[in-house]
Every structure is written in structure tokens, then in C-alpha cells.
Structure 1
Amino acid sequence: MRRFIQAVCAAAALGLAGPAMAQTAVKVGSTPTGIPFTFLDTKTNTIQGVMVDVITAVGREAGFAVQIEPLQFSTLIAALTAKKIDVISAAMFITPARKEVIAFSEPVYSYGEGLIVAKSDTRDYASFADLKGETVGAQVGTAFVEPLKKSGQFAEVKVYDTGPDLMRDVNAGRIKGAFADAPVLAYNVKLGTYPNLRLVQAYKPVVIGSVGIGLRKEDTALREKIDAGLAKIKQSGELAKILEKWGLQPAVNPS
């Protein structure tokens, strides 16, 4: 009888442990200000967007649950390395500098920077040189800040904490133009959130890269699971449906 009771207790313990192990929660750092990649949905008070849908779909394939943690873009890598979050799923380019600190999944989506100016400014700016001597802006922590500064074309490159701050200053005429993720700018212009802004269609991006899911370098097993899940949603067409849902154009081939 004693052995029978021990066996029943052991089986019950395994039964309780099984589902918990199968649905390990992974803390995902995402930003509230990167629509359509990530943004705060004020109706539900949750972070939504392309990269939330992607990591959720990948997690389903890889066997883990997703817990979204809202963070400012510039704090994501520090939060990851400090183990406050487990992965980053936001509009973050895979760059050599970032790869010195963290690891990335296979690419999710590729694009370049876009340029916004006041709607009243109808000039077809095609390059940095077309804005020579002007004051422009970019968001801190993005891959666009250093190329803008190193170009030597601008009177000043103002660096902003958030995308909305950046767009507000162009909208108010405080700076001539701003450079940021082209899909993010296009989505905001389409929404009409900043009615005085225009996305410059003639502009040719300088920094073309790929967004990936960020991980700590030592978390190789998790990276393998994420890459496998990402491959599945690419093959099934689910990734294409997610991109279409959020109005993203076909990916630009990174140079």
C-alpha cells in the first residue's frame, strides 16, 4: 500500500510539472513607441505590433509562452544583459556593434531609414547632401545616429529619447527633417497622427539592415528554438500574413 501511495504521488507530481515545463514563460522586451513593429494599444493597455505577433507565433512553435515587458528602445540591450528580460522583439537592426554585445536570431524583416519633413516642404530630398547645413534628428540607440553625425552634412543632429518626440519636433517645425525606420514613419504619416508631416518618397536609404530577435550570447538553446520557430512561420506563410496585416511592403534586400 505504501508503495502504491508513493507511486500515485509521484505520478501526480509529474502531471503537475509537465504543463509548467511545456509552457515556460519567456520575458520579451518590446517598446511602446515603434508602430507598426511595437506600440502601446491604449484600448487594451498592452504592447501590440509586428514583432509581438512574430515572437508570439515563434513561441507557439518553439513551445514557450510570451510575457511582454514594455521598455524604452535605448534600454533594451542593457535590460537583456542584466537578465531583466530574456529576449528583445522590437524594431532592432542586427548590426556588428550590437552583435559584439548580444546574439540575434535569423533576420525577420529588412528595410532602411526614411526621411520626414514638413508637409509644406515639397522638395524631393534624395540624400543627406540635399539637407546640407540643416538641423535634423534621429532617435537615440538607433543605427541611424552615427551615419548622420559622421556624414558631416548637417549643422546639428539632434538625438531624441523616443520616436514621437522626434516626429513632434518636425511636425512643429523645430527641426528641418528626421530620419527613422521607414516603416514606422510611413505608418505614422498614414495614421495622420502628425498632420504636418510628409514622408519623402524620393529619399534613398543609406543604412539598410535586418530586424532580428535579440538574445544573450550564452542562450544558445533558446536561440536554436527561436530560429526553428521562425523558419516554420516563414515556410508556412504565417510571417508573410503578419507583415501584410500591419501594412508592411516586401522586405528590402540588405546591402
Structure 2
Amino acid sequence: MKSFVTANVIPYRPFAWKNEITGKVEGFDVDIIKAIGKEIGISVNVQATTWEKIFFNLLEKQCDLVIAAMTITKQRLETIIFSDSYLTAGQIITVPKDSTIKNLNDLEQKSVGVLKNTTGDFIMKDMKELHHLKIRKYPSKTKAFASLQNGETDALVIDLPLAQYFIKSHPDLELTIACNMFTTENYAIAFRKESLQLRENINQGLRKIKENGIYQEILDKFF
């Protein structure tokens, strides 16, 4: 195999989005898979798609692999296989820099923002009654972070990489991460079950970019 097609969900900054000027898909996931491809001598063709179509495209052989900030889960392992993890993520609390919130217990009776239908949403739903939380659900990161600015929420529970990227991109907003991750999620590249050799090749390339420093360069670029 001299090339492969990878599916990336867009728009999902900082992992993948379409450059409005060039029309090309860019992002952390794109840089990672291209760096891996270069190490193992395989060219990468990026296919932009939506989350709703991503598993269908893989299983119907419209792409060879999927890299889309996808968490390894038991349910997904029933139908697909994964590479080694290329990023460890988890839920954190984002707050204004002058906030007194430092951990989960400090959220007691506070207004907490989450992204709808995400891990943060599900976790806060379980904690709502215990900590008397007022949960506000948002359809996008932009609206969720804006809620911290305008005082609509006291804190935002969200994936660490998303918070890191947003805070780095908007230093004027004076937001900070209040605590260490309180969940752990491993992002990995997905393949069809029969693609064992391709998975091994990708794992080999992933190990190489971690060893030679390229992975760290990409990590620092976005986070």
C-alpha cells in the first residue's frame, strides 16, 4: 500500500477543520497522521466528514482509517480495532482566573457549563443532584466559553485538549484550568478488524514520531 485515506471529523478545532483560504483540512489529528505516514513511507489522503458518517465510512471501506479524537471504548471494540493511544485526554474544570473554584467539590450549588452530549455532559448529569448543580448545555465550544465571560456560568467542564487550545488561542479572556483531569480517556486511530497490518504500520510510525521529537513539536503547536 503506497497511500491510505483517513477520515477526519470537521469542524472540530483543534483536531480538524477546513482552512477557508486553502480549502485543505488542518489540525492536530491531521498533522499527526501525516507525520506518521511520512515516517512509514505512505502518503495520506484526508477525507473530511461528519461524526454521524464516520463509522459508516470506515466499515463500508470508503476510508482506510479514522483519526478523529476518538476514545477507545468497549462498545466500539465490538466492531472496530484501535491503534496505540496518540493522546490522553480527560475532563477538567475551566474557570475565570479570579475564580475560587479549585476542584469538583467547589462546584457545589454553582452554575456549570458543558458541551451537549459529551463526556462532561454525562458526568455532570450524574453529579447534579449530589452537588445541587445548575447545568447549562451548549452546542459549541465558542458558546460554552462565552458563558464564562458573561457570567452565565461559574465553571465549564470540558475535555482538557479543548480547554488548552482555547485558552492558548484566547489569552485575552483570562481563563484558566482549575484542576487536574478527573477522568482519563485515550484517543486512538480506528481501523476495520481485518486491517491488522495497517494498524501495525501506523503503530510503528506513531512510536517513531514520539521517539524523534516530532510528536512533541505537534503537541506544542496546538496545546
> TM-score scaled to structure 2, two decimals?
0.80
Q: After superposition, where does 1:219-238 map in structure 2 within 5 Å?
A: 219-238=195-214
1:183 aligns with 2:161: yes
Among candidates 17, 22, 41, match of residue 39 of structure 1: 17
Match of 1:163 in 2: 141
> Cα deviations across residues 65-122 of structure 1 (Å, max 9, x unaligned)?
32223344565445434544432223333333443443221011223323223x3x72
Is the CA contact (8 Å cut-off) linking 2:93 and 2:103 kept in structure 1?
A: no
Distance 1:240 1:221, change over 3 A: same
Distance in 2 of aligned mates of 1:139 and 1:81: 28
Gaps of 5+ in 2: none
Aligned to 1:240: 216
Structure 1 pair 113/214, CA: closer, same or farther in 2 (3 Å)? same
The answer for the alignment partner of 1:24 in structure 2 is 3
Distance in 2, matches of 1:208 and 1:86, equals: 27
Give me the CA root mean square deviation: 2.9
Gap change, CA 1:45 and 1:237, over 3 Å in 2:
same
2:175 aligned residue: 198
CA distance in 2, matches of 1:88, 1:144: 23
- Structure 2 contact 3–45 (Cα < 8 Å) conserved: no
How far does residue 51 in structure 1 lie from its aligned partner after superposition? 1.5
- Using the alignment, how far apart are the partners of 2:38 and 2:2 within structure 1? 9
Report the AA paired with residue 230 of structure 1: L
Task: Give, in whole Å, the separation in 2 of the partners of 1:38 and 1:235.
Answer: 24
- Kindly state the Cα deviation for residue 156 of structure 1 after the two structures are TM-superposed: 4.4
User: Between Structure 1 and Structure 2, whose CA radius of gyration is higher?
Assistant: 1
Q: 2:121 aligns with which of 129, 142, 145?
A: 145
1:56 aligns with 2:34: yes
Q: Write the distance in 2 (CA, Å) between the matches of 1:39 and 1:82.
A: 23
1:132 paired with 2:111, answer no
Partner of 2:86: 108
Give SS of 1:136's match. strand
Q: Aligned letter for 1:234?
A: K
Q: Which residue of 2 aligns with 1:122?
A: 98
Amino acid at match of 1:27: T
Residue 65 in structure 1 maps to residue 43 in structure 2: yes
Q: Where do 1:92-103 residues align within 5 Å?
A: 92-103=70-81
Could you tell me how far 1:52 is from its partner in structure 2?
A: 0.9
Cα distance, 1:78–1:140 mapped onto 2, change above 3 Å = farther
TM-aligned CA distance change 1:151 to 1:74, over 3 Å: farther
Q: Deviations over 1:32-63 (max 9, x none)?
A: 2222x333433423222222111012122344
State the SS of the aligned residue for 2:181.
coil
**Deviation digits for residues 142-188 of structure 1 (CA, Å, limit 9, x no counterpart):** 43332222223353444444323432343344333222222321222
Aligned letter for 1:147? I
Q: Is the 8 A contact 1:116 1:197 kept in 2?
A: no
Unaligned runs of 5+ in 1: 1-21, 249-255
- Give the total of aligned pairs: 221
One-letter code aligned to 2:126: K
* Counterpart in the other structure of 1:213: 189
